[in-house]
Every structure is written in C-alpha cells, then in structure tokens.
Amino acid sequence: MRIRSVKEWNGNGRPLIIAGPCAAESREQLSSTAQAIASIDKNIIFRAGIWKPRTRPGSFQGIGGEALPWLKEIEEKIGLRVCTEVANREQVEACLAAGITTLWVGARTTVNPFYVEEIAQAVKGKNVRILIKNPIHPDLNAWIGSIERFYQAGIEYLVAIHRGFHPLPASKYRNYPNWAIPIELKHHYPDLPIITDPSHITGNRQMIEKVCQDAMDMHMDGLMIETHINPELALSDKEQQITPAELQQILLHLEIHRDSTLPPQNLENLRLEIDQIDYQLLKLLKKRMDCAKQIGKIKMDNDLALFQPERWNKLLAERQLWAEELGIRDAFTSDLFKTIHAESIALQKKLWRE
Ligand code: PEP
Ligand code: MN
C-alpha cells in the first residue's frame, strides 16, 4: 500500500486544481459553474459543499442529499470528477449510494478524532479518495492523526488541504496560513500531496491570486479555489468566491517552478555557507547551554529560584535592541530567545532533579 501521487490523481503531475462553489445552491448554479470550469481544463476536480458547517445558526446550511444527483450529473455529463464534504457516517453512505467517491473532511471535523474515526470506518476498504483539511487550530498532530486514520483504513488516494488556521488577532487573513505547518507535514510525509485553499485562507477575493502564487513558491502540490458562476449571488462565503473567468486568469498567470535536478552553482555555494553557519550556531548554542548549566548549579547552591523574571525581562529587552540595530525582526527575536531561554530553564531543572 502506498500514497498515490498527484500524477495518479490528475494524469499529468501538474498542480492538482479543485474548483467549484462553496455550496451547491441549485442544479442550474452547479451545472453552469461546472461547464465554465470544464472549458478551462477537464482535469480540474469540481467541488461543492452539500452539508455546510456554519459558525452561526440561521445561515444557509446547504441543500443536503437532494443535491447529490446534481453533482453526479456533472461527473457523467460534463466529465469533471466531483467532490463534496462529509462530516459523519450517514453523509458518507449517502455519497457512496449516489456514486460520489471523492470526499473531503472539513476543518471543523479534522479537530475531532471521534468524527474522523467514524468517517474512516465508513470508507474502510472502499474505493474512495479522501482530502483532509487542516484542523482549525495549528495542531499538526491532529492533522497527521486524521491522515493516518484514513491510510490505515486502506485509502491510498489521500490529499491534505492547507486552509489556514484560526487567525491571529491583527491578521489580514480569514485564516492565518502558517506555512511552517504544511512544510512540516511535507517533511513527515514527502509523498503526500498537499494543496492550498486560498479561499478560506484569505476570505477575500482580492488576495486569492497572491496566495495561489505563495503556495506554488512553497512547493505545494495544488490549489482548492472557491469558484461560483455569480459570486455576488452566492449564499455562503460570497466575499471569497471568484468567477470561472477569474479562475482561468489566475491559473494562466501562475508561475509553476520547474525544480531542476541540478541546482545552479551559486545556489549550491550559498547552501554550503548556510550549512557552515548552522553548524557554528549549534556549537555556540551548546556553549551557551554549558554556561546555563553552571548557572543552574550556582542557583542551587545559593538557594535562588530557577526562573528570575527580572533577569529574563532585561535579557529579552537587550536582545531586541541588538536585533533592531542589526535589522532582525522583533517577533523573530522574541520567539528565538523564548525558545532558547525555555531550554536553559529545562536544563537547569533537570540538573536540580538529578
Ligand atoms: C469549505 O471548503 O467550504 C469549508 C467549509 O472549508 P473549511 O472546512 O476549510 O472551513
Ligand atoms: Mn466555503
């Protein structure tokens, strides 16, 4: 058993593109959107939510099972593979009964292992394809856990969808992209296709093109883009949906990097330099840790508390000043020294317990 590649998904290995409305609203809305998308590229997978997870009651909750035959019609008459969101066993069974076999698990479902397990059991051993959105919170383990549950249920066609994370207070994004998380996922599962959903990351159609390009620059394997025949009339996620014509323009302008197997010489030289710098950094960190251990012993002998808030505040403020002089970002400096300081305290604590 093995995870299938993008090439096995779409036959050409180019970025895997999924497009279609946030929600199925009518048979006409689905078929006109699908026709316009099919005329761009028949390899695009068509998406539409049928059961919509909404934050507040009273908003449009989706058409429900009635829309399943409309979706199937798109596969049969227009020739696009279709996918929809499922959140429980009943919905999986309704999709399978209607012949819909590409299913995605939403961000609000991935957070809960009970739901994921129920869905994984419902598709176990079946010939289905599963896409798993990241959980709302930046919890890589919950995302990995969900992927593993489907893999263990025998699903080989798996895709992770990076749709961003609960936003930081002052963020311009609807969901903060936090690229470090999909990058870390790629590190764990080099064969797993990961695609980005710029619609839910941005929440705003003006920013979609930029995030699509960011995804390509970050080596993501494809995109899921909410596309509606008439976004102004959309019943959900109106601000972030684009027209098929806009989708075509975005795809046309997308710069897809051909990663040559032989990197240019100047890149190799710079990488070598970075390797040397990193080794020096680690050696210095080791030296710093040895100092911290000696300090730990002195604190122990003199009955001083492990954590000295005054010293820590002074230390951090000083480094922030140095960083500013050097042109290093303040947020990076604080994160870095918080991590270094936490390790010092952990080492000292260990020494006290020995
Ligand atoms: C969706 O894709 O329409 C959706 C509800 O997404 P998410 O689970 O990422 O919020
Ligand atoms: Mn949506």
CB 62 within 8 A of CB 53: no
Q: What is the pLDDT of residue 177?
A: 95
Q: Is 120 exposed, middle or buried (0-12, 13-18, 19+ CB in 10 A)?
A: buried
Whether 260 shows a pLDDT value over 70: the answer reads no
Of the chain, the percentage scoring pLDDT greater than 70 comes to 99
Q: Which atom of ligand 1 is nearest to the CA of 164?
A: 9
Look up the pTM and report it: 0.85
Which of ligand 1's atoms lies nearest the C-alpha of 236? Answer: 3
Test site for ligand 1: of 18, 56, 163, most ligand atoms within 8 A of the Cβ: 163
The overall longest dimension of the chain from CA atoms, in Å, is: 81
pLDDT digits (tens, 9 = 90+) for 159-218: 999 999 997 777 899 999 999 999 999 999 999 999 999 999 999 999 999 999 999 999
The residue to mutate among 54, 84, 133, 236, having the most atoms of ligand 1 within 8 angstroms of its beta carbon, is 133
- Ligand that lies nearest to the alpha carbon of residue 83, given by its number in the listed order: 1
Alpha-helical regions (H) of the chain: 6-10, 27-40, 68-73, 89-97, 107-110, 113-123, 140-152, 180-188, 198-202, 208-217, 244-253, 265-301, 309-326, 330-353
For the residues 224-241, what does the mean pLDDT come to?
Answer: 96
DSSP state of 191: T
- Checking DSSP bridges between strand 129-133 and strand 45-47, what pairing results, if any? unpaired
Could you tell me the distance, in angstroms and rounded to a whole number, from the CA of residue 299 to the centre of ligand 1? Answer: 52
Amino acid at 306: L
Contact status, residue 44 vs residue 35, Cβ threshold 8 Å? no
Encode pLDDT of 262-273 as tens digits: 778 888 889 999
Specify the residue with its C-alpha closest to ligand 1, atom 6: 106
CB of 89 closer than 8 Å to CB of 97: no
Q: Point out the ligand 1 atom lying closest to the alpha carbon of residue 110.
A: 8
The CA distance from 329 to 324, in Å, is: 7
Q: Which region among 36-40, 45-49, 261-265, 314-318 has the lowest average model confidence (pLDDT)?
A: 261-265
Nearest protein Cα to ligand 1, atom 2: 22
User: What pLDDT was estimated at residue 208?
Assistant: 98
**Interior/surface letters 336-350, b for 16+ CB within 10 angstroms, e for the rest:** ebeeebeebeebbee
Of ligand 1's listed atoms, the one at least distance from the Cα of 224 is: 2
Predicted local confidence at residue 169, as pLDDT:
72
**Are 105 and 146 contacting, i.e. CB atoms less than 8 angstroms apart?**
yes
Judge contact between 299 and 348, C-beta under 8 A. Answer: yes
Percent of the chain with pLDDT over 90: 89
Q: Across the strands, what pairs with 102?
A: 129
Pocket of ligand 1 (CB under 6 A): 22, 49, 53, 106-108, 133, 163, 200
- pLDDT for 105-151, tens place per residue? 999 999 999 999 999 999 999 999 999 999 999 999 999 999 999 99
